[in-house]
Structure 1
Amino acid sequence: MHSLLLNLVVRICLFNVSNSDKITFENVTVRSYFYKGALETQATSVNLKKIIPDEEKVRVDITGGVPILYEKSVFDIPNLNSLDLADVGLEEIKPGAFGNLPLLDTLFLNRNNLTPIKNGTFTDLNVSYLNLSSNSIFLLQRGAFKNFKADHVSLDKNKLTEISSGVFENVTLRSLSLTNNHLYIIAPKALSAIGLTTLSLFGNKLEEIDPEAFDMQELALLDLNDNSIKLLRPGDLRNLIELEVFSLEKNELKEIPDGIFNNTKLTYLNLAANHIVKIASKAFDGMLALTLLRIDSNNLTQWDDWLTSPFASISVRFNQITEIPDEAFKNYFRLFNINLQGNRIRKISTKAFRKLEQIRYFNLADNEIDNWDPDTLGNVSIVSLDLSENRLKCIKGDLETIFKNVQKIRLENNPWKKECAKKVEKFQKKKEANTVVGWLAAITI
Structure 2
Amino acid sequence: MSKFFSVFLVCVKITAALTPTCERQLITYETVNITPQKLMDFVVKSAPNDKVIVIVDQIIPILCQSLFKIGAKIDLIEILANNIEKIEPNTFFNQNITQHITITGNRIPVIERHTFANLEIMSFNLNSNEIQVIEVEAFANLPKLDTIYLNQNKLQCFNPHSYYQVPELKFLEVTENKIKKLERKSLSFVEQDDFYIFLQNNQIGELDHDSFADFKRNALHLVLNCNFLESLPDGIFNGHTFEQIDLAHNPLKKISGSICDETCSIKFFYLSNDSFKICDRQFLQWAESRNISLALPTFSAGNKIMFGVALTMTLLCIIYFAHF
- Measured against the shorter chain, the TM-score band is 0.7 to 0.9
Q: TM-score, normalised by structure 2?
A: 0.76
**Which of 1 and 2 has greater Rg?**
1
Letter in 2 for 1:26: L
C-alpha contact (below 8 Å) 2:141/2:165 kept by paired residues: yes
Question: Per-residue deviation at 1:89?
Answer: 2.1
Identity in percent: 20
- 1:136 corresponds, among 121, 130, 134, to 130
C-alpha contact (below 8 Å) 2:48/2:72 kept by paired residues: no
Question: Per-residue deviation at 1:221?
Answer: 0.7
- 2:203 corresponds, among 202, 205, 208, to 205
C-alpha contact (below 8 Å) 2:57/2:80 kept by paired residues: no
Kindly report which structure 2 residues correspond to 1:349-364, keeping only aligned pairs within 5 A, or say none: none
Question: Per-residue deviation at 1:280?
Answer: 4.2
SS in 2 for 1:222: strand
Q: Does 1:162 align with 2:157?
A: yes
CA distance in 2, matches of 1:292, 1:165: 29
- 2:295 corresponds, among 268, 293, 298, to 293
Question: Per-residue deviation at 1:164?
Answer: 2.9
SS in 2 for 1:99: coil
Q: Is the alpha carbon distance of 1:188 and 1:256 closer, same or farther for their aligned partners in structure 2, counting shifts above 3 Å? A: closer
Letter in 2 for 1:109: I
CA distance in 2, matches of 1:285, 1:315: 9
Letter in 2 for 1:249: A
Flag structure 1 segments of 5+ consecutive residues without an equivalent. Answer: 1-18, 297-311, 317-323, 330-334, 340-359, 362-445
Per the alignment, residue 51 of structure 2 pairs with 58
C-alpha contact (below 8 Å) 1:261/1:284 kept by paired residues: no
Q: Is the alpha carbon distance of 1:180 and 1:85 closer, same or farther for their aligned partners in structure 2, counting shifts above 3 Å? A: same
- 2:103 corresponds, among 89, 100, 109, to 109
Deviation per residue, 1:287-306 (Å, 9 max, x gap): 33x4553399xxxxxxxxxx
Q: Is the alpha carbon distance of 1:315 and 1:67 closer, same or farther for their aligned partners in structure 2, counting shifts above 3 Å? A: farther
Per the alignment, residue 26 of structure 1 pairs with 26
Runs (4 or more) in structure 1 with deviation over 6 Å come to none
Deviation per residue, 1:370-419 (Å, 9 max, x gap): xxxxxxxxxxxxxxxxxxxxxxxxxxxxxxxxxxxxxxxxxxxxxxxxxx
Flag structure 2 segments of 5+ consecutive residues without an equivalent. Answer: 1-20, 299-308
Question: Per-residue deviation at 1:247?
Answer: 0.4
CA distance in 2, matches of 1:158, 1:141: 15
Q: Is the alpha carbon distance of 1:256 and 1:233 closer, same or farther for their aligned partners in structure 2, counting shifts above 3 Å? A: same
Q: Is the alpha carbon distance of 1:273 and 1:94 closer, same or farther for their aligned partners in structure 2, counting shifts above 3 Å? A: farther
Per the alignment, residue 40 of structure 1 pairs with 37
Q: Is the alpha carbon distance of 1:192 and 1:254 closer, same or farther for their aligned partners in structure 2, counting shifts above 3 Å? A: same
Question: Per-residue deviation at 1:104?
Answer: 2.0
Letter in 1 for 2:133: L
Deviation per residue, 1:343-391 (Å, 9 max, x gap): xxxxxxxxxxxxxxxxx79xxxxxxxxxxxxxxxxxxxxxxxxxxxxxx
Letter in 2 for 1:232: L
CA distance in 1, matches of 2:310, 2:271: 14
Per the alignment, residue 174 of structure 1 pairs with 170
CA distance in 1, matches of 2:260, 2:281: 11
C-alpha contact (below 8 Å) 2:85/2:106 kept by paired residues: yes
Q: Is the alpha carbon distance of 1:273 and 1:227 closer, same or farther for their aligned partners in structure 2, counting shifts above 3 Å? A: farther
C-alpha contact (below 8 Å) 1:111/1:134 kept by paired residues: yes
Per the alignment, residue 244 of structure 1 pairs with 243
Kindly report which structure 2 residues correspond to 1:394-413, keeping only aligned pairs within 5 A, or say none: none
Per the alignment, residue 311 of structure 2 pairs with 314
Per the alignment, residue 147 of structure 2 pairs with 152
Letter in 1 for 2:290: M
CA distance in 1, matches of 2:142, 2:68: 16
Larger RCO of the pair (alpha carbons < 8 Å, separation 6+): 2
Greater mean deviation of Cα atoms: 256-265 or 175-184: 256-265
Per the alignment, residue 348 of structure 1 pairs with none
Deviation per residue, 1:115-172 (Å, 9 max, x gap): 1111121011232221111111001112211213421101111110012352112233
C-alpha contact (below 8 Å) 2:86/2:108 kept by paired residues: yes
Q: Does 1:229 align with 2:229?
A: yes
Letter in 1 for 2:100: T
For the aligned residue pairs, the C-alpha RMSD in angstroms reads: 3.0
Structure richer in strand, relative to its length: 2
SS in 2 for 1:244: strand
Q: TM-score, normalised by structure 1?
A: 0.57
- 2:320 corresponds, among 338, 351, 359, to 338
Greater mean deviation of Cα atoms: 75-84 or 133-142: 75-84
Kindly report which structure 2 residues correspond to 1:54-133, keeping only aligned pairs within 5 A, or say none: 54-55=48-49, 58-65=51-58, 66-74=60-68, 77-101=71-95, 103-133=97-127
CA distance in 2, matches of 1:295, 1:27: 46
